[in-house]
Each structure stands twice: as structure tokens, then as C-alpha cells.
Structure 1
Amino acid sequence: MKRLFLSTLLLSVSCVAASAQTATPTFDVKRISRDIQTLSSDAFEGRAPATAGEEKSIAYIAEQMKAAGLQPAGDKGSWYQDVPLLKADIVGTPALSLKTGATTTALTQGNEIAVRAALNGQKSVAIANAPLVFVGYGVRAPERQWDDFKGVDLRGKIMVVLINDPDFEGGDGRFGGTAMTYYGRWTYKYEEAARQGAAGILIVHESAPASYGWATVKNSNTNTMFDIVRSDPTASHPPLEGWIQRDLAVQLFQQSGLDFEKAKAAARRADFRPMPLKSTLDARYAVDSQVITSRNVAGVLPGTRHPDETVIYSAHWDHLGVGLPDAKGDRIYNGALDNASGVAALLELARAYGAGPKPDRSVLFLAVTAEEKGLLGSEYYAANPLRPLATTAGVINMDGPFAAARTRDFSISGNAKLDLLTMLTEAAGTQGRRYAPDPRPEAGSFYRSDHFPFAKRGVPAVSYDAGQDLVVGGTARGKQLADAYTRDKYHQPADEYDPNWDTGSVASDMAILYAVGRRLADRPVWPNWSPDSEFRATRDATAAQRKAR
């Protein structure tokens, strides 16, 4: 393991001292299972923000935090931090069609296409005869000498783009290889479409570069949309945002005399030029948009010696709520693994801290809203922190933190290099578990979990992953089960609690999460990013606000 940075020696010495002071508590696996079962039950209606499911969810979490001995850490002495959000729904069924020559083809929402409710403040979308233009990966990255647009005027037009970034197919190039950069995320592509002044954007879905199937796209985009409240939402969102199936894209290219695969290959080169398609899009639908208030839940165990310094455990409480029915007619997206399991881990850690020795630093337990809509609850907290980010020692996020069975390894989302990873590696090593790099860096997981809003502001932050090398069955079996979950349950009603789950990894994962948080809370250390990390300079800029001891 060669992830040793400038502060590793200090951290290693601290770990020995800390472990001598604080024994690992016993975690109640049955209680964790009960929390998962409760939060993912049909009674909680899929835990969507701004629904009755939210009210039940946040009340339950606050109740459990209070019982664990935490103190309210939200607004005005409450358990909650208000998170104002723009909420938008498509009214009725959108009218969508493509015209090629004299032929008009109607498109069915959720089948060939999935468009989102407009988040630019409009009350309706009315697009007629908008030309489609293929702009490769839709990336403009001056620092990499890359521009997919080449000055083309996209006003009044629909961008058609590929998901992920230009290195995904070939494995090497200006974007660092197969590990997705932020340019590969759909959020970036929507933002770039707004910057280009486009009337809309359609992302071509392919399962491998997206890292999930069409069911995930459909279920995530055809229900209620949320965004943070922006002073100028049109700067971040074009009128139309959506995805199309690969088969439809192939057809569009054929009708324009183009080969889809050859066009994809051309898009991997810096000399790519936009390709007009011989089709236009009509889209008409009303949008019900309003500003609502959702809530993060925050409980704190105040530190005894340095209460103004903070360690954060986080997990998102929300899921997709009630949406389109699956093949069985089930419309409740229960989100048992994603992410009732993370909240259950958060609550059990709160109980362990509440019952154990009081920490030197304050420990904040933060359950955030609207992760499924773009990390909005954590983004709001990071922009409006309840406790200063400069004196937040680290963030440990939990999003599906347990493995399908006991593992020999662990991982984190993405391939970031930071001292928190060294600490996790050492804690896991006491159990004979090793660090394994993210097996799917091309999925862009680093940008898809609630640690990211903290990371981009310099706070050392990780999202824990329990690994895939199963004690019984090895990596092959672990990958098989992970792939099956992504295919059959992720963002689908089938993500439900199962009393027959193998909980063999739970106690081990909880012990690692506790050990690292406890080490941060009890020792006078300030972890950092590696010297070559893009987040290091931002963290270093606030160094004067942290006490050296």
C-alpha cells in the first residue's frame, strides 16, 4: 500500500495511542436491520423529499438521535437544517416527437426517451422543430486542450451527447484513462448545455459508460425533480434535459447518413467537429414548479476538550418516493440498501458514541436530503455549514456501506488520495482486510456521493465501500452480486428489505467506521489531501484557522 503522505507518521502514532484509549464497542446488528426495515417500509413511501415520507423519515431519525444521547445541531436549536429547494413536476404526459423529412415519430416518456421537469424556472416547455446536433461528449475543457463545440451556435438547438468522457472507450487520452472525470457526469453536461445556450440536451444512454441500465435512467428522471434555489437557474439548466435509448440514437444517425459507432470513435479525438443530424425535436409539457423546504437532520455529541472542532458522519436519508410501476405494479421505491442502510449505520454509530467515552472533538451525525436529485442536501450544508468547514477534521460518508457478505477488502468511492484513506487502511488492517481501489472508476462514483460537496471545498472526505472480495466466493462472486443489484434493484422498487440478507460484513464495517471517526475525534491531527490532489490547495488556504497541537 503506497498511499503514505506527509502526515502519515503522525497519524500512525496517533492511531496506536487512540486504540489504547478507546475499545471498539459492540454493535447491535439486529437493531441495524430493524432500522433498515423500518426506513424502507412501504409506510415511509420511498422517503422522497417534500412528501409525507420525508416527515416520517426525519422524525424517526431525530427520535433515534435523541435516544442515542445526541444534542440537536440544526437551525435555532432544532434537529433540522432547512434546505430550500426548487421542486418541479411535469404536469400530465409530455408530448414528444421527432421529425425526419416528412416522417414524424411520437416518443413515449420512459420508453425511448426520459425528460425531466424543467429546473430553469419555466412553467412550461414549448420546443418546436429544434434541430438536433451531435456534439460528441459535450465537453469544453481548455486545460486539456479540448473543445467538442468548435464555435458552433447551439441556440435554439438540441445537443445530443454521449455519457462519460472521451477516454472511456479507448482507456487513455487527455482525461486520465478510464476513471471518469467530472466532465463525464450528466450534471456537467446539463450545465454545459446551459452555458452553450442550447434549447435542450439529450444524453445517449449506454449501460457500460453510464454504469447503470435504462431502468435507472427512467426511474430517476420521470418523477419529481429538485434543485437548489439559484439566483439564475437558466445559467445551470437549459429548458429541456433528458436521455434517449441507444437504439433511438442509432436510428437518428442512420437517418442522417451517419454510422453511430464511427461517430463515437470520432468523438474520442480532439479534432472532433459537431455533426448536425437531419431530425428535429418537438416537446411540449407543462411544469408545476415551486420552492419548498426539505430538511437535513443534524445531531451532535459535543467535544470535551475541543468542542469547536468537528468530525462528521453523514448519510442521505432520501430515496425516489412513489413513481412509475415496475413489471409487478409496485410503485414504491423503498431504497433499502440505497440508503436506509447508510442511515441505519449512522444511527448505530451515534448510539456507540453516546454510550462510550466522550470525544475530544465534537462529532456531528448528519442525515442529508435530496442526494438522489444531485447531492443537494450535502451541497446546501457545505455552502451553509452548521459548523465551520475549516475546523472540520474530516467527513466519513455512508451510502450503502455494507457488503453482500463478509469481505477481505474495503474500498472508497473513486480513487482519491488522502490521509483518511491511510487511516481506513490501518483500521481495516487490524481485521486482516486490505484496501482495494474502486473497481469501477469509470462510473464516476467520487462525484456521486455526499462527500463530494465537502471535498471540493477542501474538507478531507470519503464515502466508504465495504469491498467485493467475499470470504466465500471471492471477487468473482462479489462482482456478480454487485452487478445483479445494479441491474435488478438499483433505483427500482425491488430495492426492498430482505430478512434473509447475509449481514456478515456489518459488524466489521461498523468497527472500521467507528475506529477512524474515533481517531479523528480524539487525536490532535488534521488530515489532508495528497500533495498532488486538486483539493489540497483549497484545504491549505484555511490552515491558519486550525490549531496546531
Structure 2
Amino acid sequence: MAAIALSATAMSAAAAQPGGSADVDISADNLTRHVRMLASDAFQGRAPATAGEDRTIAYISQAFAAAGLQPAGDHGGWTQAVPLVRASIDGDVEVSVSSHGQRQSLVNGDDIVVQTLKPVDEVDIRDAPLVFVGYGVHAPERQWDDYKGVDLSGKIALVLINDPDFETAQPGAFEGRGMTYYGRWTYKYEELARQGALGAIIVHETAPAAYGWATVRSSGLSPRFDIVRSDAERYHSTVRGWIQRDLAVSLFKQAGLDFEKQKQRAQQAGFSPVALPETSLSTRFKVKREQVVTHNVIGKLTGSQRPDESVIYSAHWDAYGEGEADAQGDHIRHGAVDNATGVAAVLELARVSAAAPRPARTQVFMALTAEEMGLLGAEYYVAHPLLPLQKTAAVINVEMLSPDGPTRDIASWGKGHVSLEQDLQRVARAHGRTYSPDPNLEAGFFYRADHFAFARGGVPAITIGAGLDRIDGGVQAGRALREAYFANCYHQPCDNWSGQWDASGQVRDVALMYALGHGIANSREWPAWLPASEFAATRAASDASRD
């Protein structure tokens, strides 16, 4: 496929403001070549700290060098070392539930998924009582506390995914169906550890989780990673995981409780935890813990006037590596859409940026590790930045571009309350396209991409992804394709490159990202969090360091 050039006339309409740029050619052939290579069997699913990582970072480093970037990693190299702990289940898993003296053995991966990041060599829990804690939210600023002084020591908490407003008729303390951070699985585990729970088990329901059990199984049976923590003993409960909804419903019924009625109770601020009478969980498995080092890959183009100020383009390079074979015998989770497309975009942005005149600010290009493990590569960079965060003007993160051809619109993930959303809307309009706010706020995508780690550090950040309004078929066709991907291929082996892909939509999207980033890099203005954002105060603390 040939490169698509955006007209100079369309570009000039935005050039005077952040988001403008000069004419640029984005190559569909390059995007396709990168995705096809990164998603190939040779890269073994790009799991961190594997041979697949070695091939991945070598490929990206070579592509950055070929584009003409300068190394921006540790010690003048291309990579930033990210030390992690990898925890794997070593051997078989015993897990069972007991209700009123009747014990039921469970199959790890089918009925339940259990894992741990606590610094232990073995998990051995015998008949720990089960307690339902609703949505597991402790949010004083919203006058909400699902715990109300309950003692969870020695107990396993059953917790619902998403927010209390997800299924209510009217928006309440959690702003309706749009997920807040309190709805994310990461928050559930963090808060239950703070509450002293022995274990934290999330009840899986497809709609509020935004993915099916196959995704839970695939990711849950993989090794788990965490940054090295001095407080890991307190930061993690002894066991965590997910349980199938039907099994949870059955346990509630055996305990004399109605699951749906308890869930409705949990949607009210007056909810208090409820124990499941004479119901307990037991599990035993060995844990193999290793300290490993994975890597972010970072290159830059030094700014012509204000090199200490920067604009970051980022995408995560990791996927889920190798796992159980699917019906076709494929055991590699190739991660083509998620997120070889994002990496390909960053590589192509690096190429066209290096070929263009240098803007005033430094442009940084990052391929981040361990996003699938909890945004760990981005979190590590924010804790150990190689360029000052207070003078990082913006992060433009790229996720999951569409293989299905062009759309009239472009979208961002979540509702970030950040000026970059308006900038993207304006750039899209200047190029004859529209901007679509996230159509699926209840999925909590704002908290599921690397830009969120930067946002918590105060840096204005956005994740850009494909729109839904397909030129061929409109929103209905775009939504159907999206839903089919998440139902069937998300984190599965079938997320693989195909010769049937149409990269022309990716070309159009990457061209808009270039326009947005190049305009910010040439501007004296600073993107900002809006007053409604929870990150505005963090950014304001460094206001004095910016002109």
C-alpha cells in the first residue's frame, strides 16, 4: 500500500496552534511491516524478561537508530532497565470451597483464577471465611465506605468489578456508567490489601469487566509482575484472583443469600459487608519468585530551541507471551492489535519526525514494557524519569489501532479532563475528520493504558485509538468489529496479523498524532489538566518550573 500524504492546505489550518504541523507522509507499508514482524512467531508473544523481549527491544532499538533518533536511555543507550519481581505458580494448584460442611474442588483457570504477588514461597490457606464487600470502595471524598470498620484479617473478600453506579438507573456518587479508578481491578486489590484482607477475589461479570472469562483465564494463568517494593508484604494480600459469576451465585445461595439482592445493596452508600455463613475457601500452591530486568526503549530528537522541554510519543511493546493452545493449536498470544499497532505507530512517527525540521521542544519516542502487568514500565519511568516530568509538555500514548480500514473519526480513551482532548478534536476537524469521546466509558480504558501512569505524575497525557465511524459501514459496523475483537481475540492467540488487514485507517490516525505532537513541540503553550481533573493539583505543584 502506498503512503498517504495529508495536504499542506489542511495542515496549515492547524499550524498556528498546538496540533499543527508541516506536510507529512505516513507509510502503510512501514506500519504493516512492523506489525507483521512484531506479531510473528519469532517474537514469542513479546512477554517481558523472555527471549521474546530480547528480540523486541533489539528490533525497536534498530528501528529507532535507522530513523535517525538519538539514544535516550540509561548511560547513553537505547534502553532503560526496569527491575521487576516475576511470580509464577510452581506446580499444581489446589483450590476448593466449603459450604455448610460440603466441600467442592475447583479447577484453577476454569472455575476460579488464583495468584499471588506477596513475597512468599508458598500459599497455604485453609478454610478462610468468605466476606462480601460489595464494590470494595473506600472513597471519603465521595462519602462512600464499603468496609465500615469490618475486620478482614484471616478472611477472603469477594468483591464486585466496576463501580456502584454501573447498573443503577440514575448516576450517583460515581458519575454513572463511566468507570472511575475505584472500578478497576487494580484498585480492588490495592484497597483490600490496605484493609488487611487475607485474600481478594473479584466476581467476574462480562459487561462490567468489559471482557470475557477467556481474557481472565489467559492473563490470570500467566506469570505476574510487580515493581520491586520495600513494602510488598503489606502492599499485597496473600491470594488474589477472579471467580466465575455462576459459581459466586451458587455460593451465595448455599449461604442463604441472594447474589442479585446483595449486589443491589452494594449500589447504595449504606452498604455494609456481609459474611457468607459457614462458607470458606482453601487453596495451596507453590510460588516461584524471581527478580528480573525488563526494559523500556527510548529515543529522542533534541529540540532546536528549548531542549529541556519535551513531548512524548509512547506505546507498550509487551504482550502475553506463550500460553495454552487455542482450537487451532496456536499457543502464542501475538498481540498484533494490542499493541504491535501502537509500537508501529511510534516507529513511524519517529521516522517522519526525524526527517522533518526540528521543532522547539525535544520529541521523545518510547516503547514501554510491562503495560499488561499493570502499567509497570510507565510507572517505573515516572518514578525514574530520564527527562524532567515538570517540563514534559504532553504524553501522546498509542493503543490498539484498527486493522479494518479508515474511519471518519478518531478517539481517545476515557474522559481525561485534559486540554489534549480539545487539541485532538481541533486537529481532527482541520483534517476533515471528527473526534469521538470514548464510547465505552464503563470499560475504564482511561485507567488501563500507560498514559495513566504519567497522569498520576501530573503530566498532561492522552491515549489515542481508533474511532468507530467506519467509512465502510458507519458506527454500526465499527462497533460490531470492536465487540467481536474483545469477545474473541483480546489477549488471545487470534490477535495476530493477517494479510486481510487494511492499514489505511492506521495511516490516517498516525498522521493526526503527528500533527498533534508536532504542534505541541513547536508551541510555547503548555497542555493542562482541567479543573475537574484529579491530576490538576499535582501538575500545579510544578507550575513555577515552567515559563
Q: TM-score range by the shorter chain?
A: over 0.9
Instruction: Please tell me whether the aligned partners of residues 93 and 109 of structure 1 are also in contact (alpha carbons under 8 angstroms).
Output: no
Instruction: Please tell me whether the aligned partners of residues 208 and 443 of structure 2 are also in contact (alpha carbons under 8 angstroms).
Output: yes
Superposed counterparts of 1:60-99, under 5 Å: 60-99=59-98
| Number of the residue aligned with 1:101 | 100
| Number of the residue aligned with 2:391 | 391
| Structure 2 residues without counterparts, runs of 5 or longer | 1-10
Aligned pair 1:240/2:239, yes or no?
yes
CA 1:444/1:329 → structure 2, altered by over 3 Å: closer, same or farther?
same
| Number of the residue aligned with 1:342 | 342
CA displacement 1:105-150 (0-9 Å, x = unmatched) = 111111010112x212111101001000111111111111111112
Superposed counterparts of 1:19-38, under 5 Å: 22-38=21-37
CA displacement 1:361-407 (0-9 Å, x = unmatched) = 11010100000000000010011101000000100000113363211
CA 1:22/1:140 → structure 2, altered by over 3 Å: closer, same or farther?
closer
Instruction: Please tell me whether the aligned partners of residues 194 and 234 of structure 1 are also in contact (alpha carbons under 8 angstroms).
Output: no
| Number of the residue aligned with 2:144 | 146
3-state SS of 2:372 partner:
helix
CA 1:22/1:223 → structure 2, altered by over 3 Å: closer, same or farther?
closer
| Number of the residue aligned with 2:47 | 48
Aligned pair 1:374/2:368, yes or no?
no
3-state SS of 1:46 partner:
coil
TM superposition shift of 1:18: 6.2
Distance 2:342 2:410 in 1: 16
Distance 2:431 2:402 in 1: 16
CA 1:86/1:189 → structure 2, altered by over 3 Å: closer, same or farther?
same
For 1:145, give the aligned amino acid.
Q
Distance 2:15 2:301 in 1: 23
TM superposition shift of 1:13: 11
| Number of the residue aligned with 1:431 | 431
Distance 1:93 1:50 in 2: 23
3-state SS of 1:300 partner:
strand
| Number of the residue aligned with 2:530 | 530
CA displacement 1:404-439 (0-9 Å, x = unmatched) = 321111211101122211211111112221122211
Q: Between the two proteins, what is the percent identity of the paired residues?
A: 52
| Number of the residue aligned with 2:327 | 327
Distance 1:53 1:13 in 2: 42
| Number of the residue aligned with 2:193 | 194
Task: Give the root-mean-square deviation of aligned CA atoms.
Answer: 1.6
Instruction: Please tell me whether the aligned partners of residues 322 and 333 of structure 1 are also in contact (alpha carbons under 8 angstroms).
Output: yes
Aligned pair 1:543/2:543, yes or no?
yes
CA displacement 1:210-258 (0-9 Å, x = unmatched) = 0000011111111111011111112321010100000100110110111
3-state SS of 1:505 partner:
helix
| Number of the residue aligned with 2:177 | 178
CA displacement 1:481-533 (0-9 Å, x = unmatched) = 00000001001011000111122312211110000110011121111111222
CA displacement 1:29-83 (0-9 Å, x = unmatched) = 0111010000000110000000000000000000000000001100000100000
3-state SS of 1:333 partner:
coil
| Number of the residue aligned with 1:7 | none
| Structure 1 residues without counterparts, runs of 5 or longer | 1-11
CA 1:97/1:18 → structure 2, altered by over 3 Å: closer, same or farther?
same
Distance 1:352 1:14 in 2: 20
Instruction: Please tell me whether the aligned partners of residues 403 and 468 of structure 1 are also in contact (alpha carbons under 8 angstroms).
Output: no
| Number of the residue aligned with 1:4 | none
For 2:153, give the aligned amino acid.
R
Instruction: Please tell me whether the aligned partners of residues 402 and 509 of structure 1 are also in contact (alpha carbons under 8 angstroms).
Output: no
Instruction: Please tell me whether the aligned partners of residues 394 and 459 of structure 1 are also in contact (alpha carbons under 8 angstroms).
Output: yes
- Give the length in aligned residue pairs: 535
Aligned pair 1:498/2:498, yes or no?
yes
Distance 2:471 2:321 in 1: 35
Larger displacement relative to structure 2 (526-535 or 300-309): 526-535
TM superposition shift of 1:14: 10
**What TM-score do you get using the length of structure 2 for normalisation?**
0.96
| Number of the residue aligned with 2:16 | 17
**What TM-score do you get using the length of structure 1 for normalisation?**
0.95
| Number of the residue aligned with 1:420 | 420
Distance 2:161 2:64 in 1: 40
Distance 2:103 2:513 in 1: 56
| Number of the residue aligned with 2:128 | 130
Distance 1:518 1:503 in 2: 22
3-state SS of 1:390 partner:
helix
